Each structure stands twice: as structure tokens, then as C-alpha cells.
Amino acid sequence: MEEVVDQSLREMRDTFASGRTRSVKWRKTQLEAIIEMVKDNEDKMCDVLFQDLGKHSTEAFRDELGFVMRSATTALNCLDKWVVPKKSNLPLLFYPSTGKVISEPYGTVLVLSSWNFPISLSLDPLIGAISAGNTVLLKASELSPNASAFLAKTIPSYLDNKAIKVIEGGPDVATILLKHQWDKIFFTGSPRIGKIIMAAAAEHLTPVTLELGGKCPTIVDHHSVSKDMKSVVKRISGGKWGSCSGQACISVDYVLVEKSFASSLIEMLKPMIRSFFGENPKESGCLSRIVNKKHFQRLARLLNDPGVQASIVYGGSMDEEKLYIEPTILLDPPLDSEIMNEEIFGPILPIITLRDIQESIGFIKSKPKPLAIYAFTKDENLKTRILSETSSGSVTFNDVMIQYMCDALPFGGVGESGIGRYHGKYSFECFSHEKAIMEGSLAMDLEARYPPWNSFKLTFLRLAFREAYFKLVLFMLGLKK
């Protein structure tokens, strides 16, 4: 394995040094190939996603395949614009110098993706790395082995395999990869592993983007959205259970609602769940399964806490063999239970009641900064408070998850939920070094710039730097001391 990594790195570095990946034409060819790869292999991709996660093909297309195709198309359409150097306006003091900023690829980058959206979380960063002109090594997660194998087998036959490589494996392979020097590392996963990645990157002063997670709260201000409550419930349910069964970094983790409305909310959620998955969600074919036994046991443990068990108001049934957990609703589980202190990443939805919805601000602030905050409210005051008093990667009002689709918005965390961001143009920037270029003129020269120093030069420069040009002129004319 060490040999393979060494050789891959050497080849990618040579390819980068050759300059091939810098050409816009090369980048576009690769992006087109990604689109082609997805189009040609739709069925196979849906297949592997079903094998790894029990995803329905519609969910697979919506969350992964379609998303990737759109991302690649956006990059294709915008690339010519993105690569143009940005001209900088220089202060008059520097005339006639000019300045600009060029986006330059970092070089050879490493993308480590996650198991819950193994296609899109692998290909989307890849799209960013390629559009920025890098060579890239992708390691997909071993916890989604079919998707990982598919990518390892298929990418080389579509993309330039001297520049874009795929490696399979688990933590041991990751450890070997992290010992090497990369020009950038892009990681999607848990905060715990994020810390390990960043520490490894520190050895080589490698910049990182870490897309992590957290407990994404959903505030339901029933006073102001009562008219649209059906929509609210639909969106929350769709966001929680309709996307990888709650195993998503931006999933609705828990709901905050006033005590007076809690039971009404629950009574609306129940039929909504049934409308999505029928009376027997296990057989519906529309609910992803839990990824593996380890995560199943983790979720079971969260649920089996006596205080949590007592708070189950809907669902709760589990089938370890089928890795199935029923869409489950909890009402006020103990706040110090594990389920309220770690990212759930599963189909269990705690509903936390408050006396007053304004308390949701303080509640959210008492926890690490999440990747997303969702708030269903039309109360402008509350909106302002949420925006200015809480901190999160993003805030979405009156919907959930959808910010992921808006590629004019940066997607990334803050604090425990991550470092850096991507999507759309931000993906291009994520994998680029913004290099400042300044050009001076050899035709003109200012004596005052040079030693030996004297008080004339000092005054001149002081005035020049202050951009007090009028005073400077007076000074030069001897009319000012």
C-alpha cells in the first residue's frame, strides 16, 4: 500500500508539474467526463447506493446523482469566468503600479469522503479540485464499500488517470495517506476524525477544509407559521427521514417548540410519516437503512437509555438484522442523555419543549456551533435574534436541507462543525491559492524611497503614505515644512 501511495503521489506531482491540469480545456474535458460517467452509470450508481444504504433510486438521484451532474454543469458553465484574474485597484500612492489576483491550483490534493452520500461527497469536492486545476487523490469511505469500489473501478476509465486517482481502504490507508505531504486536504466526516486530519496536516503546513457535523436544531415558532403548519411538518419530516434516514450532516437533529404546541406537532408528524412510508416503513422501500451494525448499535444504545425510552411517543422499533430503525419521535428526553449531546445521525427525532420559543436562542447557544440552524418562523424579531445571537455554518428560514442545493451560498461549518466551505464558486476557491501579483514600473522612481535617510525624505514619505497629496505637493514646492 505504501508503494501504491508513493507511486500515485509521484505520478500526480509529475502530471501537475507538466502543466497539463492548468489548461481550462483539460479541466472542462474532465468535468464533461464526470457528467458522462454519471449519465452512463445511473443504474449502477443507484444500485450501489441501494446496496450500501438501502437508498431508493429517486432519493439517490435527488441527493447524489442529480446533484453531481448539476454541480459539474455549473462548473463547466462558469469556469471561464472563474479563472479570470481579478484586477485590484491600487491607491494613488502606488501609481503607475498595477495589481491583480490570480487563482492558482494548490497542486496535488487529497479528498477524503464520507459514507452517507458516498457519490456526491466524493465527486463534488473532486469537481472543485479539478476546476481549480489540481491533481487529486480520492479515498471514499470503506463503510460504503460498493460505492467506493464503483468509484475506484469507474473513475479511471472516464477521467485522466495520471491526474485523478482513487484509492480504497479504511483508517489504515488514511493513516498512510496522511503521513505524506499534500497541497490541500478536503475531509468530510466527524469532528473527532477532523481533529486527527488537521493535526496530521499541521506536520506539513497543509491547508484543510473540514466539513464536519453537529446537532442541527429546528425551531418551530408555531405562533407565526400556524397557517402553513402542514408545510412545516412536511418539510421537517422530509428533511429528517427522507434523506438517508437522518444520517446526514445537515439533517434535522432535534426540534425546539413551545410546550403548548408540542402534542399538536406530534399529532401532525405521525400521519405525515405514514403518508411517506405507509403503515410499515420497513417494507416501504423509501426509507434508507442504517449503514452498518456499529452505527445501528450506537443508535440502539442512544435509544435504550431508560430516560430516552420513556420519552418515545412514536416508533421505536428496531431490526438489527435488517439494520432498520423505525422513524421515531421523542418528547423531552433528558437533556443530559447521550442522544441530546452527540449528533444523532439517525431516524430519531427528539422534540424539546420550551416555555417560550425565544428560549431556543439560549438553548442553541449552549451547544457547539452546528452546521445548520433551521427556523420555521415569520417573526422578524425572532429571525434577527437567531441571525445575530447564534452562530452556525448556515441558517435556513422556513425549510430544511435545501441550502445545500443553493450553490450561490457557501456550504461549510464554523467551530466544531468545520473549517472552510465549498459549492459553486466556493469549490473553485477552496482548491485555489489566491496569488497577488503586483507590477511596478522601471520608468519612474521616487528618490525619497531610498537611503540615506533625512528629514526631508521622512516628511515626504509620511505625507505620501497618508495620501495627503495636496500637502505633499505643497511640501515639495517648499511651501510647507
Hey, which residues between 309 and 328 contact another protein (CB under 8 A)? none
Question: Pick from 413, 247, 242, 233: which is nearest to 343 by CA?
Answer: 247
Q: Which of 59, 211, 258, 326 is catalytic?
A: 211
How far apart CA 174 and CA 159 sit, in angstroms, is 23
Among 40, 467, 469, 470, binds another protein (CB under 8 A): 467
Give CA separation, 397 vs 196, 257, 382, 418, in Å.
34, 15, 11, 21
Among 50, 187, 411, 428, binds another protein (CB under 8 A): 411
Task: Provide the CB-side half-sphere exposure for 346 (13 A, CA).
Answer: 30
* Bridge partners, 324 (sequence order): 319
Judging by beta carbons within 10 Å of its beta carbon (0-12, 13-18, 19+), is residue 20 exposed, middle or buried? Answer: middle
In the annotation, is 321 catalytic? no
Taking CB under 8 A as the criterion, which residues in 180-199 touch another protein? 183, 191, 194-196, 198-199
CB of 318 to another protein, least distance (A): 20
339-363 burial, b if ≥16 CB within 10 A, otherwise e?
Answer: bbeebbbbbbbbbbbbeebeebbeb
Q: Is 461 in the site for another protein (CB under 8 A)?
A: yes
Comparison of 442 and 479: residue with beta carbon closer to another protein: 442
Which amino acid type is present at position 113?
S
Cis peptide bond upstream of 207, omega within 30: no
Q: Is 78 in the site for another protein (CB under 8 A)?
A: no
Among 5, 33, 45, 69, binds another protein (CB under 8 A): 69
Among 92, 442, 477, 479, binds another protein (CB under 8 A): 442
Angle between helices 24-40 and 66-82 (to 10 degrees): 170
CB of 336 to another protein, least distance (A): 21
| Stretch near another protein under the rule CB under 8 A, chosen from 7-15, 61-69, 146-154, 249-257 | 61-69
Taking CB under 8 A as the criterion, which residues in 210-249 touch another protein? 210, 212, 225, 228, 231, 234-235, 237-238, 241-242
CB of 127 to another protein, least distance (A): 15
| Stretch near another protein under the rule CB under 8 A, chosen from 126-134, 296-304, 317-325, 459-467 | 459-467
Q: Is 90 in the site for another protein (CB under 8 A)?
A: yes
CB atoms near residue 199 (< 10 Å)? 10
Taking CB under 8 A as the criterion, which residues in 325-344 touch another protein? none
How far apart CA 200 and CA 221 sit, in angstroms, is 43
Q: Is 91 in the site for another protein (CB under 8 A)?
A: yes
List phi, psi (to 5°) of 212.
-110, -145
218 three-class SS: strand
Distance in angstroms between the alpha carbons of the first and the last residue of the chain: 73
Question: Pick from 164, 162, 141: which is nearest to 37 by CA?
Answer: 164
Among 50, 61, 158, 187, binds another protein (CB under 8 A): 61
Comparison of 146 and 391: residue with beta carbon closer to another protein: 391
List phi, psi (to 5°) of 294.
-60, -45
Among 20, 51, 152, 278, binds another protein (CB under 8 A): 278
Q: Is 393 in the site for another protein (CB under 8 A)?
A: yes
Q: Is 449 in the site for another protein (CB under 8 A)?
A: yes
What does R_g of the chain's alpha carbons equal in angstroms? 27
In the annotation, is 249 catalytic? yes
C-alpha cell at 471: 500637502
CB of 242 to another protein, least distance (A): 5
Q: Is 99 in the site for another protein (CB under 8 A)?
A: yes
Among 115, 261, 277, 324, binds another protein (CB under 8 A): 277
Comparison of 331 and 371: residue with beta carbon closer to another protein: 371
How far apart CA 122 and CA 186 sit, in angstroms, is 10
354 three-class SS: strand
CB of 221 to another protein, least distance (A): 13
Comparison of 22 and 298: residue with beta carbon closer to another protein: 22
Taking CB under 8 A as the criterion, which residues in 144-183 touch another protein? 183
How far apart CA 142 and CA 291 sit, in angstroms, is 11
Taking CB under 8 A as the criterion, which residues in 281-300 touch another protein? 284-287
* Bridge partners, 88 (sequence order): 99
| Stretch near another protein under the rule CB under 8 A, chosen from 126-134, 135-143, 164-172, 279-287 | 279-287
Q: Which of 46, 216, 244, 249 is catalytic?
A: 249
Catalytic residues, by residue number, are: 211, 249
